[in-house]
Amino acid sequence: MRIEPDTKDWTWVLDRPCPDCGFDAPALDLSRVPQAIRDNATLWEVVLETDDAAVRPSPVVWSPLEYACHVRDVNELFDQRLEQMLTEDDAHFANWDQDETAVEKDYLGQDPAAVAAEVVAAADRVAARYETVGEADWDRTGTRSNGDRFTIDTFARYHLHDLVHHAHDVSHVTKRVTVASYDAFADDYTAGVGGAADEVRAAIEEFAGDLGPGARVLEVGSGPGWDAELLEAAGLSVRRTDITPAFVRRLREAGHEADVLDPLTDDLTDPRTKHVEGTGYDGVWADASLLHVRREDLPTVLAKLAAATRAGGHLFLAVKEGDGARFSTHGHVGAPRHFTFWREGPLREALTEAGWRVDRMDKNGDHTGQDWLVVRAVRAGA
Ligand SMILES: C[S@@+](CC[C@H](N)C(=O)[O-])C[C@H]1O[C@@H](n2cnc3c(N)ncnc32)[C@H](O)[C@@H]1O
């Protein structure tokens, strides 16, 4: 079936955040453009390795393979246009019809492994060209065949939105791949990491002290279950949950109750008190788990957690500090996982809007040199 051509004028994305993918073009720090382009390519490499990369979710929506081909060609085109803008005064761009290109090049018939290599190479080339843009170059201009005029500044913002938006288009694959990686490496992760870090032990003592004995806590992403053990030893009652079936299986084998739970899509109500009106968790513990939730989904997850917690209840949240989002294979999980990095300002805003009062946001470094944002917040309304 034919895919409807995209005839929308997307230049509005330069003025305001995109409601679909969450990309905020006006807020983009231009010095981040080269790295953000390379990070985006990590996604396509991973997505193209999935068995159903060439399957369209519906007959009228591109498959991940077709999106990947498009992203490769966008990066090639933007590289040529950027070169024009850097070398010609008021460059004029030839027309490019993305839908015609998809048909002419038979995107759906391309070899995913070859596309994966091409997408990375094209991203690297255009990223390297952005690295040559000097302070005085950002105002250089280029005009499209339809008359839209860009500076290199607006061109870069428009370009990045395109990449982020298409990452959003295949986000169902992002979550699936990450969970499959944990599922395959749950034993290696458990053996390799080995236990809770000292800072986490201290945070657990403090959290338990604030909540008092017997308080009921929802843990999101229990993983091997070390934090839950310590939280219980400190007097709390913990509902262990994880999105990864292998972790839940391991917890059950160790004699614990545990549920497979996706905090974005599942009902978070405590099964123990679901028939009791007006109850909620006394606390939520989310240590290094919500860093796998996509940026545009975190506000929904935080609001669902707030709704499931009583007024005055406490939240512990730890995510990696940084910019952007990318796939990475490192540590004790030998397959790609997707990480979303956060900065203090946007994280505070997301928490506050979701109904949490942020009491503290500390920065902790780990043994790899990665900085973390560690949050203590209270469910507003108390
Ligand atoms: C780095 S491990 C941390 C596990 C545990 N909290 C700990 O500190 O040892 C990340 C955890 O997040 C879970 N996870 C992966 N994707 C997730 C998602 N989209 N939403 C919530 N949790 C997720 C994984 O299954 C895993 O248990």
CATH number at 181 reads 3.40.50.150
CA distances in angstroms from 328 to 39, 109, 307, 325, 375, listed in the order given: 9, 28, 32, 10, 24
| pLDDT tens for the 382 residues of the chain, in order | 556 666 567 888 899 888 888 888 999 999 999 999 999 999 999 999 999 999 998 898 999 999 999 999 999 999 999 999 999 999 999 999 998 999 999 999 999 999 999 999 999 999 999 999 999 999 999 999 989 999 999 999 999 999 999 998 998 899 999 999 999 999 999 999 999 999 999 999 999 999 999 999 999 999 999 999 999 999 999 999 999 999 999 999 999 999 999 999 999 999 998 777 778 999 999 999 999 999 989 999 999 999 999 999 999 999 999 988 888 999 999 999 999 999 999 999 999 999 999 999 999 998 888 999 999 999 998 5
Same domain as 195, residue 155:
no
Q: Which domain holds residue 215?
A: 174-379
Q: Are 138 and 151 in contact (CB under 8 A)?
A: yes
Same domain as 371, residue 231:
yes
Same domain as 124, residue 49:
yes
- From 137, 169, 201, the end of a domain falls on 169
Tokens of 302: 């935080």
Number of independent structural domains in the chain: 2
Task: State the Cα–Cα distance between residues 307 and 279, nearest whole angstrom.
Answer: 10
Amino acid at 119: V
Same domain as 140, residue 266:
no
Testing ligand 1's pocket by substitution, the residue of 218, 243, 256, 296 carrying the most ligand atoms inside 8 A of its CB is 243
Q: What CATH number corresponds to the domain at position 109?
A: 1.20.120.450
Same domain as 182, residue 154:
no
* Closest C-alpha to ligand 1, atom 23: 289
Ligand 1 pocket, residue 229 CB under 6 Å: no
Ligand 1 pocket, residue 107 CB under 6 Å: no
Helix, strand, coil tally for the chain in percent (to 5)? 50, 20, 35
